[in-house]
Amino acid sequence: MVKRAMHCKRIVVKIGTSSLIHQNGKVNLQTIDRLAYALTALNNQGYELVLVTSGAIGVGMAKLGVSARPAAIAHQQALAAIGQSELMTLYTQRFSDYGAKIGQLLLTHDVFDYPQTRQHVLDTIDALLAQEVIPIINENDSVAVDELDHRTTFGDNDQLSALVGKQIDADLLMVLSDIDGLYDQDPNRHPDAALIPEITHLSAKVLAGAGGSSTRFGTGGMVTKLKAAQTMMRAGKQMVLASGRDPRIILRIVAGEPVGTWFGNVLEQVSPDNQASNS
């Protein structure tokens, strides 16, 4: 397989709940540690990193020993309120171990619906990146609900990560999930399913073949990931969907290794230092 090369300086990484929470409901500390290591390593090389994280409700469930996600919105939001602080504590500990600085942003959809608030958020992210701080973004699940004409929810963090990637003009969105990439058929049902290494056009057939969420902790599925890819591709950017079992795969992606499924046209690789001198 031919090694891919890519042109990137500003990168959004989205990690799903299924990567952060074990099947038994416990927090996957090794994943969080490896994620902090990989992002810090790239930050030290001059890349601009934004992390969009799921997991607040899952971590809240783990904290309280809840085995099933409650149906009531208020109970989910209570878990999110508990889990968000726990999750940020874990991120703070692990990123600090590697000498990285992080900052938290909790967003609702209407922040991006209004030009003034959208610009404030974008200015904040730019200010953080200029100081080599890694923004960690999550939806504000403890307050975000759909009420009449007041839209607050993104629906899932796949959509949030793509919207953030588009708004901050990121070169690449990495979506780390519980699957190695996009397959030509459901690999859980068909042992002969083949990974699709590259997608340059999202056809109606591809979109129609996507399934739902595969874990009790997460809310997304392949449909939301393909919609995220569509958002990035329409903006002339790239997205890669890859396994989040070991977040150090981020380093392999940036190195241009052929892992996961790449969405969009692949361009010549330029390091952050070279990109700055060529612009």
Let me know if 14 is exposed, middle or buried by CB neighbors in 10 A (0-12, 13-18, 19+): buried
**DSSP 8-class letter at 4:** P
Which residues, other chains included, contact 196 with Cβ-Cβ below 8 Å and sequence gap of 6+? 181, 182, 183, 184, 261
Q: Tell me how many helices (H) and strands (E) the chain has.
A: 11, 8
Q: Sign of the C-alpha dihedral, residues 251, 279, 119, 146?
A: negative
pLDDT value for 147: 40
For residue range 101-124, what is the model confidence (pLDDT) as tens digits?
999 999 987 888 889 999 999 999
For residue range 192-239, what is the model confidence (pLDDT) as tens digits?
888 999 999 877 777 665 554 444 333 447 888 999 999 999 999 999
Per the annotation, binding residues are 14, 54, 141, 157, 177-178, 219-225
Q: In which residue are the tokens 């973004």 written?
A: 137
Per the annotation, binding residues for ATP are 14, 177-178, 219-225
User: What token pair was written down for 148?
Assistant: 């009449």
pLDDT value for 175: 97
How remote is the C-alpha of 144 from its chain's centroid?
19
pLDDT value for 114: 87
User: What token pair was written down for 101?
Assistant: 């600085």
Which residues, other chains included, contact 42 with Cβ-Cβ below 8 Å and sequence gap of 6+? 11, 49, 250, 251, 254
Q: In which residue are the tokens 């974008």 written?
A: 122
pLDDT value for 1: 40
Structure confidence at residue 155 as a pLDDT band (50, 70, 90): low
* Statement: residue 248 has pLDDT above 50: yes
The DSSP annotation for 20-46 comes to HB-TTS-B-HHHHHHHHHHHHHHHHTT
Average pLDDT over residues 237-259: 94
* Statement: residue 27 has pLDDT above 70: yes
Average pLDDT over residues 2-8: 57
For 56, 74, 77, 132, the CA distances from 143, given in Å and listed in that order, are 13, 9, 7, 29
Structure confidence at residue 162 as a pLDDT band (50, 70, 90): very high
Per the annotation, binding residues for substrate are 54, 141, 157
Distance CA 232, CA 143 (A): 27
- The candidate with the shortest Cα–Cα distance to 75, out of 19, 145, 136, 5, is 145
pLDDT value for 265: 66
Winning range, highest mean pLDDT, from 2-16, 52-66, 138-152, 256-270: 52-66
pLDDT value for 112: 85
Distance CA 136, CA 54 (A): 10
Which residues, other chains included, contact 116 with Cβ-Cβ below 8 Å and sequence gap of 6+? none
